[in-house]
Amino acid sequence: MSIQEHAGVPHEIILVDNASSDGSAEYVRQVHPEVRLIVSQANLGFTGGNNLGARAAKGRYLLLLNNDTVIRSPIAPLIEKMEADAGIGVMGCRLLYGDGRLQESIGYTPNVLSLVLSWTPLASLFPGTKIFRRTVFRTSKLYEQKYVGVDWVSGACLLTRVALWEQLGGLDERYFMYMEEVDYCLRVRKTGYFVGYSSACQVTHFEGAGRPWVGERAVLNTADSYMVYIAKFHGRTAVLVLRALLAPVFALRALAYWAVYMMRLDSYGTEKSRAYLLAALKLIRGCARL
């Protein structure tokens, strides 16, 4: 197990089973008795599952680690940096896809405009302009730094202080999944702590568990999480603006994916088209209710 190989410090491994039905919980009990298994009777989402596991933790640091990750190098540099600097509240690391490509794991604090524009071609045309992006583009020199302060780091591998986690109440469970780490890191920075990134630790993240694309539920959850985030930090009027601007962008993406499928360029085109169309309709219905 990569955690045991690269932890380098006394640790405990807590695994939350989010109401799985594939026998994985029993497998863990039999093959990895050293793991503290917590079985939830309901799917609590990324936020609820992490909060449930965190409540059982006994250490001074808490490492959130996705189940589709493999640690490739010691995590000690992250802990050592936090031990040396009491002002750091969160540390993230260098994430790689399964094929070794760099994964964009740090980002900018979003607002209504950047959330909308990040789904348009402008995000690719101007990769270095943060108003068009949610994440820092993969060619940025920031990803090579041994330590650098950032706005937020990916929740796929996020190290934080337990005392700070408890002070902030953990992850906000209004997010089922997506945007929860952006929210948490913003709250960390609002308390006066820093959020840091280090290339000294590397983790492979098989995003989406290695599936060709994340799926319809992920797209709908993303839209929901945007609304939660903007309502929380920018207010009700900003939510209305976001819905009104993002709905047509998602509708155009749905149309584009359908065209790509018709040209036989993407076998998942119809699924993607349906997902973005449903997300657009959901956003429009939300506008009507406001």
| Cα separations in angstroms, 32 against 3, 39, 49, 103 | 12, 15, 19, 29
With a cut of 70, say whether residue 289 has pLDDT above it: no
With a cut of 50, say whether residue 67 has pLDDT above it: yes
- Position 288 confidence tier, pLDDT thresholds 50, 70, 90: very low
- Position 9 confidence tier, pLDDT thresholds 50, 70, 90: confident
Query: What value does the CA radius of gyration of the chain take, rounded to a whole number of Å?
Result: 19
Q: Helices (DSSP H) in 178-235: which residue ranges?
A: 180-190, 216-234
Q: Calculate mean pLDDT across residues 54-60.
A: 94
pLDDT for 19 equals 86
Q: Calculate mean pLDDT across residues 21-50.
A: 90
pLDDT for 259 equals 95
pLDDT for 157 equals 97
Write out pLDDT tens, residues 79-112. Answer: 999 999 999 999 999 999 999 999 999 999 999 9
| Cα separations in angstroms, 130 against 57, 106, 226 | 36, 12, 17
Which of 6-10, 40-44, 136-140, 220-224 is predicted with the least confidence, judged by mean pLDDT?
6-10
- Position 56 confidence tier, pLDDT thresholds 50, 70, 90: very high
Residue 215: left if φ>0, alpha if ψ -120 to 50, beta else—which one? left
- Position 209 confidence tier, pLDDT thresholds 50, 70, 90: low
Q: Calculate mean pLDDT across residues 30-59.
A: 92
Selection from 86, 104, 84 nearest residue 96 by Cα? 104
Identify the residue with better confidence: 7 or 227: 227
Given the structure tokens 């940025």, which residue do they identify?
A: 140
With a cut of 70, say whether residue 208 has pLDDT above it: no
Long-range contacts of 208-213, Cβ-Cβ distance < 8 Å, separation of 24 or more: 208/68, 209/67, 209/68, 210/68, 210/98, 212/268, 213/268, 213/271, 213/272
Average pLDDT of every residue of the chain: 93
Give the whole-number percent of the chain exceeding pLDDT 90. Answer: 81
Q: Which domains does the chain have, with CATH numbers?
A: 57-210 (3.90.550.10), 216-289 (no CATH)
| C-alpha–C-alpha distance, residues 250 and 238, integer Å | 18
Residue-level length of the chain: 290
With a cut of 50, say whether residue 290 has pLDDT above it: no
Q: Calculate mean pLDDT across residues 50-61.
A: 95
Count other Cβ atoms within 10 Å, centred on residue 240.
Answer: 17
Q: Calculate mean pLDDT across residues 195-204.
A: 97
Write out pLDDT tens, residues 149-192. Answer: 999 999 999 999 999 999 999 999 999 999 999 999 999 999 99
Write out pLDDT tens, residues 256-277. Answer: 999 998 998 888 999 999 999 9
